[in-house]
Amino acid sequence: MDNNEDEDLSKKNLTIALAGNSNVGKSVVFNELTGSNQIIGNWPGKTIERAEGKLHFEGQDITVIDLPGIYSFSTFSMEEMVSREYMAFEKPDVVINVVDASVLERNLFFTLQLKEMDVPMVVCVNQVDIAKQKGIVIDTEKLQDMLGVPVVSTVAVRGEGLHELMEKTVELAQKKPQIKTMEYGAEVEKRIEKLRETIESENLDLGYPPRWVAIKLLENDPEIKELVESRSKKVSRSVYDMSQEIEEIHQEPVFAVIASERYSLANKIAFEAQIQSEVNITFSERLDRLFTHRVWGYVMAVAVLGGLLLWTFVVGDFFSGLLSNAFSFYQPVDPKVTGSMASILWNGAFGGIVAGVTLVIPFVIPFYLMLSAVENSGVLTRVAFMMDSAMHKIGLHGKAIIPMILGYGCNVPAIDSTRILETRRERLLASFAITFTPCAARTIVILGLVAVFVNIWWALALYVIDLMVIFVLGRIALKVVPGESTGLIMELSSFKVPSLTAMFKQTWSRTKSLIYLVFPLYIIGSAAIQALYAWGVLTPISNVLAPLTVGWLGLPLFAGILLIFGAVRKEFTLLMLVALVGTNFAAFLTPVQLIVLALVSLLFIPCISTIAILAREFGWKATGAISLANFASAMIIGGIAFRVLSLVF
């Protein structure tokens, strides 16, 4: 095969990366281009989600990578590190930079950084319809001339302009034109070029473009600085000298000077490319004022969070009831009585499937669907913004409220969704708080033990106690886990009607990953615990736990077995109690014991699925520490509650 044939074949397989700020419609562009041909996974060695899709366009087989939404190529977050390493080392054929037409200047700050990366680029000016409503029209030809790259306007939610976008992209990938350099102010530009020449003369092959390395060195990027210092003292000395010169001229730090240069250039380009027409206050803007109002904003935030939970539990309870009726033939049996493997498989394997279908799916799918609607409409960012100050009390910022709400449906997807947070510390703190959040299964235990056999007010009191525990332990964890809290940087995009296609695809993507993790663990874990119980292994363990369960918590001896079963699946606490004493719990447990058992089950070691995802995200050391904190808090608070309640009842 000759070289021409090799070249023709290579042109049939292109890799395109979508890059841009959050909430610019990048994911909508990705979904519209790739349809159902998507794979959702993790970046190698990272917990950041990677979305990859396939597209066949006019004879070209194209792989589309949806990079995380970021604002810069700094090292402040894992998303930024992932994106810049991908650009430098994977070298996509073309990068499509998606920008929001209504906030062009703000988005161009990142566009200029992409230009610094020296990558073939097409700018996709998205949401031009929303910009037009605000009285903004983008002159794409002018923008194209100033940036020196192809520019296409689109309305991705309606598919408008996407065909032209792909035509320009494929054309650029085949031609590989020379990339125009965007120059900054003379004092800064002169030193960038001088430093670039020094880097090239030293043959520093870091994988990144020399000009980009020069800019990052002047910005004092810690990773690039460390790489260069280990290889060239000459470059390091040059960086120091030039940084001092720039700081003396501008009387401020170099990183601030370069940021100002970018903003100045972005402002100039946006001013030239934007055509301003008559501005009318839109319904979206009125809604925005309501959601960010210093008083009504909190009311709306509480209404959204309450509505999300109400929707999840009402709809989830309805479908759970239907599915429970469909599986009404399933009744757990005591494997000690039958002593057969069939009963172990019936209780464990099939019981795991029933629990997954009747408890996880009905609550998780409605939650994810509504979460996608709230997220894509722009409502969720306002809620996060309003909740920011409250969340900072436990070392988190407003975005952490999103996974914590999800925890009320199921802790597993909630911990998985902490990936939206910027640092490992924030994800760890949020996940720790989530393990104390009463999921659907814990709610079943609380309602089944307390609401039915004591009263609804004591059941509600347990939720209040749980919130207090989350706050107190969150404050303690904030002091124990090393690191500093970060501020909230979030794009408040315009309100828009969410795309149903994007909602359904997002919901299925999230639900699918949950099903693949939860169902196998439910089935295997349930069967294993049932087998241990049938073979009499759990009874000695229950006897060992007696000083805690009987002596400290004031519960019956069999409570140890209930807690062990609850560590597999929280609702097993209730199901196993039925198998042991029947359905009239009040005949065997006092009101105090019912409340204490529900409280301990609420705070006790997370279920096996939650432990599995904690281990996947943070490793076994952190998982062990979180589980130990859960166990200790359950025992301490449960024992105190028993003594206090004994004075009340």
Q: What are phi and psi of 644, to 5 degrees?
A: -70, -45
CA distance 110 to 290: 29
Let me know how long the chain is: 649
Annotated binding site: 20-27, 31, 34-35, 45-49, 66-69, 126-129
Residues with Cβ within 8 Å of residue 81, at least 6 apart in sequence: 75, 223
The answer to whether residues 51 and 38 touch, using CB atoms and an 8 Å cutoff, is yes
Considering Cα of 133, then 139, then 143, then 146, what sign does the dihedral take? Answer: negative
φ, ψ of residue 126 to 5 degrees: the values are -95, 165
For 57, the enclosing helix (H) or strand (E) is strand 49-57
Task: Please tell me the chain's helix, strand, coil percentages from 3-state DSSP, rounded to the nearest 5.
Answer: 65, 10, 25
Strand partners, 64: 16, 53
Q: How far apart are CA 146 and CA 273, in angstroms?
A: 9
Distance CA 399, CA 386 (A): 10
Tokens linked to 401 = 């409220």
Radius of gyration of the chain (CA): 29
Binding site for GTP, by residue number, is 20-27, 45-49, 66-69, 126-129
For residues 578 and 597, the answer to whether their CB atoms sit within 8 Å is: no
Q: Which two tokens stand for residue 61?
A: 């087989």
Q: Which two tokens stand for residue 577?
A: 């109690």
Question: Taking Cα atoms as reference points, which of 486, 405, 416, 462 lies closest to residue 595?
Answer: 462
The tokens of 282 are what?
């839109």
Distances in Å between the Cα of 79 and the Cα atoms of 50, 67, 261, 395, 408 are 10, 8, 24, 20, 27
Structure tokens at 377: 């409409």
**Residue 141, amino acid:** E
* C-alpha distances in Å from residue 390, one per residue of 316, 383, 387, 398, 400: 29, 12, 5, 8, 11
H-assigned helices in 378-423? 379-391, 401-406, 411-416
Q: Give the single-character DSSP code of 160.
A: B
Q: What angle (nearest 5°) sits at the alpha carbon of residue 446, between those of residues 445 and 448?
A: 60
Cα separation of 419 and 339, whole Å?
Answer: 45
- Alpha-carbon distance 168 to 127, whole Å? 18
d(CA 80, CA 69): 9
Tokens found for residue 612: 């599995």
Cross-strand bridge partners of residue 122: 96
Residues annotated within a binding site for Mg(2+): 31, 34-35
Residues 6+ apart with CB under 8 A from 112: 182, 262, 265, 266
Instruction: Report whether 75 contacts 222 (CB < 8 A).
Output: yes
User: For residues 189 and 130, is the Cβ–Cβ distance under 8 A?
Assistant: no
CB atoms within 10 A of CB 594: 21
